[in-house]
Amino acid sequence: MSNKSKSPWRLDGQRALITGGSSGIGFATAREFASLGADLVLVARDPERLDRARATLEAEIPDCRVDVISADLASDDGRQDVLNGVGGPLQILVNNAGTNIRKRMSELSQQEYRLVQEVNLVSCFEMCRLFYPLLLASSPSCVVNNASVAGLTHLRTGAPYGMSKAAMIQLTRNLAVEWAADGIRVNAIAPWYIRTPLADQVLADPAYRKDVLERTPMGRVGEVEECARTIAFLCMTASSYITGQCLGVDGGFSVFGF
């Protein structure tokens, strides 16, 4: 075994499943993982975007192995399709898939509320439940949930989104304790505004962007690579004594008081 493969700062020999892996933070995480030696399984709904993501990664990192599965994680059938497609083994699960509908509570329909919960929270819970046997068989293994600072404090993202992210953070804590003896670590990250197509839609409003930057001590929007590197760290043996934590990737937003 080479010295590189023994490095606690790499992911050689690890197989990682990343949901929402065809764009944004998910794709940046896939690129980071591949550069660190991991094999990948990317999940998203759009098969064409998945194929483009795979082609890009294989062109950039010729020796990486990338499998893709097109599935809707908001449905039981979609999640089962992923489980059937992955097989095994699996050392890393990254629950990154998410959505939001930006409306006041009084304007939301029940269908819209349920969609946000199904995509953000239920899919995270069910993916953890479904993949527990594979993670156990491959332990030491780990899970990282992509939550949000909206799960820590009020944001203008709407109640259902904040509720789903807060529940993801609590799920992280509970599973970390429940699965510690099984050799499965469970952590989360809580991003603030990160430069993605979805964030760019609201940051295009100059007044809104000004408010965001004024509430960010570092004075800028985050980059997807900064989230990806944090997720990668939480999956390395370099972080082997870290579990049950929610790590803010927020430029200081969550600790910015008066």
Cite the active site residues: 161
HSE at residue 3, side-chain half, CA atoms within 13 A, is 0
CA-nearest of 129, 132, 143 to 243 is 143
For helices 123-137 and 159-179, the axis angle rounded to 10 degrees is 20
Q: Parallel, antiparallel, or unpaired for β 15-19 and 92-95? A: parallel
Helix H or strand E encompassing 211: helix 206-214
**How far is residue 247 CA from its own chain's centroid?**
12
CA dihedral 178, 181, 184, 185 (to 10 degrees): 70
Backbone angles phi and psi of 189, in degrees to 5 = -120, 155
What secondary structure letter does DSSP report for 52?
H
